[in-house]
Amino acid sequence: MKKIITAALAVLLCLSFVSCMNDVQDTTDIGTSDTQEKIVYPHEDMILASPGDTIANVGGIDIPVFALRYFFANTYSTFYSTNYEKIDSYFDPYVPLHDQVPKAEGYTDYATWYDYFLSEAKKELGYYLAFASAAKQNGLSLTDEEKAEVDSNIAQIEEEAKSYNMTFSEYMESFKMMGPDVTVDIMKETYYIFQLATKYSQQLYDGFEIGSDEIEKYFNEHKDLYTAVDYNILLITPEYDATSTEEETKKAKEKASAESDAFVEHINLGKTFSEAYRLVYPDLS
């Protein structure tokens, strides 16, 4: 249930991200403290099906292929940004994913990298469809206020499209993650489904409680699976700051390292945590 809530945030963030686009690019910036990297999206691999195709139906509402395309791109971008420093050890972002066989450990069960990302996209979308279907079966629906929130986000995208002298569909086509022929009505109906799925999953999550009696009963029946451990943690931090000289910084690090080594040595000699602490820091309580 937590996963659908997390995924829902990713979808809703997409709405705000589209509205903040400054120009149409084939790459997206991801920043770190020291560098600015680029995500190279494999657009030729993200067609998936004809734009008007329906990939699912929830309560009489068709789910268009652009929804799956979004999750495909989102899964890809997450993988890329997480592994961008070593992305070449997985695949070449400039070569179609269809043409690359996974050789990295943990991915060799897939025929191509395209198959891997498509499989992950289907899983993510599957969470929404399952929760949305269950919501409808249980008579849950969106309030006018909740629909208005979705409408407002999409209206922002419409305004952004106008600022580029583009129609909504043209603007969404320029945003490669979503694909072409996405109309306002298609997007609204799809996001209503996503919002409903999120609402239902949140209700289930909020109502999910385990009492202490249930925990105790389970523990007593599975004691062999658990081991109680008491532990303490000692964090030794070098004392220096931006005003410290290079020599002062070096000495601070050496002092912290020596204290750490001394503490570990006392523990290895059989001293308790408290005894070792007092031996290393006799002036501290």
Our measurement of the distance from residue 1's CA atom to the centroid of its chain's CA atoms, rounded to an integer in Å, reads 14
Q: Find the mean pLDDT for residues 203-220.
A: 79
Q: Find the mean pLDDT for residues 23-43.
A: 49
Task: Tell how strand 36-40 and strand 61-64 pair up.
Answer: unpaired
Q: Is 75 exposed, middle or buried (0-12, 13-18, 19+ CB in 10 A)?
A: buried
Our measurement of the distance from residue 249's CA atom to the centroid of its chain's CA atoms, rounded to an integer in Å, reads 37
Listed range (111-115, 178-182, 190-194, 196-200) with the worst mean pLDDT: 178-182
List the chain domain ranges: 2-206, 231-285
pLDDT at 183 over 70: yes
pTM recorded for the entire structure: 0.58
Give the pLDDT confidence of 78-90 residue by residue, as tens digits. Answer: 899 899 889 999 9
Residue-level pLDDT at 69: 82
Is residue 45 within 8 A of residue 114, CB to CB? The reply is yes
Is residue 200 within 8 A of residue 14, CB to CB? The reply is no
Q: Find the mean pLDDT for residues 150-158.
A: 91
Q: Find the mean pLDDT for residues 136-158.
A: 92
Give the pLDDT confidence of 241-282 residue by residue, as tens digits. Answer: 888 899 999 999 999 999 999 999 998 898 888 889 989 888
Is residue 97 within 8 A of residue 112, CB to CB? The reply is yes
